[in-house]
Structure 1
């Protein structure tokens, strides 16, 4: 399994139907909390439960959707998150995966040190900080008291590792593990002794950028009147800023410090070539801006977390690094330069949209990066990252349904792209269709259950089913230009569906995008499966277009076409 095949990794509103409200919006929150207690069967409430608000969405018709994290006797409940749906104080339903109210002892049998030791036997000795452990209730399966043990380190290619092991607090057995990203202190927060410098006087400006991929583009920057230079910081988009990691020689070689802020004397950035370090930074600034504008224009979402705050993008991460990643811990992205032999810098527009969407997912559904939920997490980034590319509609980066096609240099043996939404199996490992169960072992491998609990197939490949669904929902069983008769792939409409429904018609990109986003932000939770995703998108289509509408019927027919029932 090549590292390139896994590229685009995670470490980790007024829309058509609703808007995101501040989490301290007391009225909807109070009503939702009352609904939880009044409907214990539907919400799996127990008297020892506590709830922390993670987001509020209010539809134009007054329907309220309040997202909560759950605790039990003061311990975080992993997999206990839920969304309460109500209108005019009347409870409608709840979206959640927890099967029953919690009722378990919270006194561990083994010590935290023992849990750390057991997890360390899997992680090995290449950790770079002291591991930690906290007690939690693990409720994705049979509710179990567990330790959440955190080990941090780096993969062989330099990608940070932030590995959580859930260790049974009675037996010491490892229940499962999840990987995220190890990060450091963002710029400007790492002052030592003495007084921090005064905030500079910044004035919005518009510079000219010559990029690697996007051509010559305007970029929003800031004039620093205190230091008399321009900064690659966007005051119009929450102070999103771009830094240079110096290929590992700035910011400690990892994400510690996040490099050095890009600055310039004349507000003209880059040359369009790798020899100018600002060229990749122009692509990053352009990608951040287009992704911000996509979420704002399509859904009324201000920023990745919906709070109006910008993020940091760190270019030139390590040396010959073939990847890019988002970390919710530092609210930042890092981009490698590629190896220069087969790959180019990982700052193409769909890569930018993909990685920032991981942040949106973390701030909303919180899909775990494992099994079916992990596949849906990755697919969400592919789907909405691709829609960012369509939104930008830059002739230098023509929109399509390929992922990362601009990254590959034209050399023998290189694939056209990382992934193919219309026919995921072109990459030889992703799935076009949900496993039909004829091979129980493969079904376990795909879903990460049974023998493969805590493992299973990589989410970049289980994402194929949802990517395929979205393409068919938007476009129908239509073969993209360049992949049909006479091409290397010679695809026909029958090759695009799993059930022979070659007459399947799409609802268009706009409707498909609105349906997926609403399903993500209103109905999906951390452990959502493919079957749950079908239900979530059906509900979203009903909200947006009506029960029995052509759009809702198309959602059902399209899931059938990828064998999700």
Structure 2
């Protein structure tokens, strides 16, 4: 398609870099002029006949793109230019900030640079100057030249818990990445305790009754810290800040708890365990070695120690071994024989494993001591790690450990500084045998010394998953992703393994089946956070990140070695105490990028997306790769292949002009009519609609180069108009400035009024405090209309915000039910947002204006957001309203701005691939231009694979979620047969099964290995379930 243009080119073009400064005496957000009433609104538009209308009526069907408001996750509005914020949609707080604040010049990443960065980020982190303090720890520069510093939060001098984060500098130009979770400033917290620390400690001891045993000096060495410690802290529990004592408690060797006690009334707020289950000699002589058989029957070499005629499992041969000032050995691997004792009981006093001749070592002693050495060497040789604690600390293991009642212990566990091994009972046998078990337990120690993930809920599940991952890597059986397979009782675990990284369902079908774990967030099991329920399911839900590791490690070009390096860096550099699954994805992806580049980062993001941790990665169409919670997947459209143009007006709003994408004016003017609203253009670039300065609906037919009135007898009552992408629908507002949007079908001219309200937190409750809407834009599917509106609160305050109106029902092809969803439930006082626009190819990305009126001054900014992921970026601090609009390929934003000398320009801001983060500085593209709208003249499919809304229905079950052959699907009975479609990651249907019953087996063996989605039709839409073809 081509335009027929015959206009002279005299419009001024200016391409320069420009800088903007905040305006101090700004105007209100939008000045629409006084309301007027020029006649009634008709129930049907009398459409002017023309070729444009015949073209529209000739179209059949409707775009099948499904815009789903239940996926909306609005991120926090950023205050700091230069930063892109990722917000946790559950807490509403920032968990990642990327970029460097524009106010900070490039400089070396020093402690002062960290403090300067944090000062600028403080408002975004919801911190309050004076009361809140973030203290940087030691700055560490790694082998890649990157600098990292861990942050500790304080409130009026008291540590804040849980609060843990890092600043990272990827080069020598200063800190440019914040990752972690800090707490907002508490309100009105009394920080003088009502109870003394002595009272709290006494009550804590009493609470354990007979299980409290005074530990000996030898036992305290195994523990590695005092038996009880207390510190006054500000503790957040269920998002409420309380003054509390944090108690570290070791009532005996088998229990290590952190307990938070209210500092005013002594009640226990919360506690969590540090015991992670799988379900002192004098150095005077040189070390010796021995050969012995382990529980596999293999002959191995042991490092032992000879003293007083005996030999002991005391390894002094490692590089970490040394003596202290008293001549005592440090940095040893020491293995103790518990001889049937339990660390839960008083008098636990095991002896170092010994032999009279250095030959008759038992097989379980040999396995424990040998495996500890192998695990130590794995961390030393692969990561240059100096023991579990990284400081050359001794490694202690205990074998022949029994339960407190004297029965065989059917478990192995990490006890805070030592590893304890039972010999097995019902579920296990010969637990010391398994190298992956030893690697698992030692990794718990490494985690404690690095990320220190809290052993509960998602942080605890990550803790368990990392232990499984490195247990697998230490065992070094490539492509055998089973754990504990050498020590389980097959009568209890019929799959032959305790857990399976490749197939977390592990032969089971549901929670409760022995060995079953979820393989996808769809199967996540919500359990109470107590010891009776596995601390919120740490051994259950770890299956989800386990499968993510498998996905990553088996990606072409990754493999076990690279995956191990990436996960170690994630664990030691990016994860924090309170990290959730989404934080693990962020950490692994960032570590992959650091070590192996963008392809590895993509592999990491894809691996996690395929288990539902964040949305899938867009590998075509330029979509973002930033994840958030949940299993949503983002739908992208292909880029319009046609010629690219900009439709614009001048700052006086006197005419319309046409330019190419580079800003070269092609039609000067295109039409001499003065626009009263910003033009709205169809997706194929054939038609633009706008309101003129006499409040009439105008159209411009680009095919025939014709300006026309939409109505046969033009009414003068209209304020704004938006045409749907496919040209079938319009939305109108009137000069009455009331709370109504009129939705029209151009096929017949029918109009339906839709009354705008503000939905509230109460189910089915809304308020009628909407004054009037203004800017409007249809999403590609033509069902939802995005609009901004002015509302008034009961106290008289007014604000603009962004909403989504279900204006059309695509299934019934008629008017929608008028349901409204707000992008933000609440904005800060003095903040308004408006003029929203969709990215051209990614309807989960939008840009909009923000205006702040905190006092006598007014500030403007252009923002961009991924509204599925909760990530928002401040694009530019502006001098006026920006009216942003995305480029045809979403690689830049066009907006109104001013140069440093006050010249009004149409500006362009380049964007990175995620479509919200700026790439360099903006530039002025057209001097005197305004209201720029990018469009292209090509044809493209406005559709995705699913032709019904995606809904959730718990009755739809699919198992197993990973298979090399068949899967079983169960679903509610519908009348007649139905098609079950299998989709690939691009949304393409790869195969269809016609099913007539409510349960079916589907053979996927003919599909290539990879991730797929099964689309199951139900009464109200389509249920989507993920499945992996191994």
Query: Is TM more than 0.5 here?
Result: yes
Partner residue of 2:333 out of 232, 240, 247:
240
Quote the residue 2:306 is aligned against: 223
1:401 aligns with 2:481: yes
Q: 1:517 aligns with which of 551, 559, 568?
A: 568
**2:164 aligned residue:** 81
- After superposition, the C-alpha distances for 1:485-543 in whole angstroms (9 at most, x for unaligned) are xxxxxxxxxxxxxxxxxxxx572111221111111111110000011111111111111
Q: TM-score, normalised by structure 2?
A: 0.41
2:369 alignment partner, one of 285, 291, 294: 285
The verdict on how the C-alpha distance between 1:119 and 1:337 changes in structure 2, with shifts beyond 3 A counting, is same
Map of 1:336 onto structure 2: 422
| Deviations, residues 59-92 of structure 1 (Å, cap 9, x unaligned) | 2342111234445445443222222323437222
How far residue 433 of structure 1 moved from its aligned partner, in angstroms, is 0.7
Deviates more, 1:527-536 or 1:104-113: 104-113
**Structure 2: stretches of 5+ with no match in the other structure:** 1-107, 215-227, 319-330, 615-1030
Quick check: 1:180 aligned with 2:180?
no
Larger Rg: 2
Q: Is this contact kept in 2: 1:233–1:242, CA < 8 A?
A: yes
Contact 1:342 1:414 in 2 (8 A): no
Q: Is 1:80–1:98's contact at 8 Å kept on the other side of the alignment?
A: yes
- Inter-partner Cα distance in structure 1 for 2:202 and 2:288: 54
Q: 1:386: which partner in 2?
A: 472
Q: Which residue in the other structure is 2:518 paired with?
A: 431
Aligned match of 1:260: 351
What pairs up with 1:131-170 in 2 under 5 angstroms?
134-139=231-236, 141-149=239-247, 160-170=254-264
The count of corresponding residues between Structure 1 and Structure 2 is 462
Any idea what SS the aligned residue of 2:521 has?
A: coil
Aligned partner of 2:437 in structure 1 is 351
Deviation track 1:19-74 (CA, whole Å, cap 9, x = no partner) reads xxxxxxxx988567645765552775865647484x76422342111234445445
Q: Aligned partners of 1:523 and 1:290: how far apart in 2? A: 26
Instruction: Please show how residues 287-366 of structure 1 align to structure 2 within 5 Å.
Output: 287-318=371-402, 319-328=407-416, 331-339=417-425, 343-366=429-452
Choose from 569, 575, 581 the match for 1:530: 581
1:252-299 CA-to-partner distances (Å, cap 9, x unmatched) read 956844x111223433243xxxxxxx3211111111111111111211
Q: 1:326 to 1:56 in 2, by over 3 A?
A: farther
Q: Which residue of 1 aligns with 2:193?
A: 108
Distance in 2, matches of 1:411 and 1:527, equals: 37
Report the Cα distance in structure 1 between the residues aligned to 2:129 and 2:400, rounded to whole angstroms: 50
Q: 1:239: how far off? A: 1.2
Determine helix, strand or coil for the equivalent of 2:540: helix
Residue range with higher mean Cα deviation, 348-357 or 417-426: 417-426
Distance across 2 between alignment mates of 1:266 and 1:129 = 36
**Equivalent position of 1:465 in the other structure:** 544
Task: Please state which structure has a larger fraction of its residues in strand.
Answer: 2
Q: Which residue of 1 aligns with 2:610?
A: 561
Aligned twin of 2:217 = none
Contact 1:40 1:46 in 2 (8 A): no
Q: Select the structure that is richer in helix.
A: 1
Decide whether the 8 Å contact of 1:433 with 1:562 is kept in 2: yes
How far the C-alpha of 1:106 sits from its partner, in A, is 1.4
Contact 1:343-1:408 at 8 Å conserved across structures: yes
Report if the CA contact (8 A) 2:504-2:517 is conserved.
Answer: yes
1:456 CA drift (Å): 6.2
TM-score in terms of structure 1 length: 0.72
Q: In 2, Cα distance between the equivalents of 1:219 and 1:29? A: 46
Q: Which runs of 5+ in 1 are unaligned?
A: 1-26, 189-198, 271-277, 437-441, 477-504
Q: CA RMSD in A?
A: 3.7
Q: Does the aligned pair in 2 maintain the 1:214–1:283 contact within 8 Å?
A: no
Change (3 A) 1:456 1:246: closer
1:332/1:555 CA distance change after superposition, 3 Å: same
- What pairs with 1:120-139 in structure 2 (closer than 5 Å)? 125=209, 127-129=211-213, 134-139=231-236
Q: 1:203 to 1:82 in 2, by over 3 A?
A: same
Instruction: Give the Å deviation of 1:127.
Output: 3.6
Q: Residue 283 and residue 514 in structure 1: after superposition, are their counterparts in 2 closer, same or farther (change >3 A)?
A: same
1:552 aligns with 2:610: no
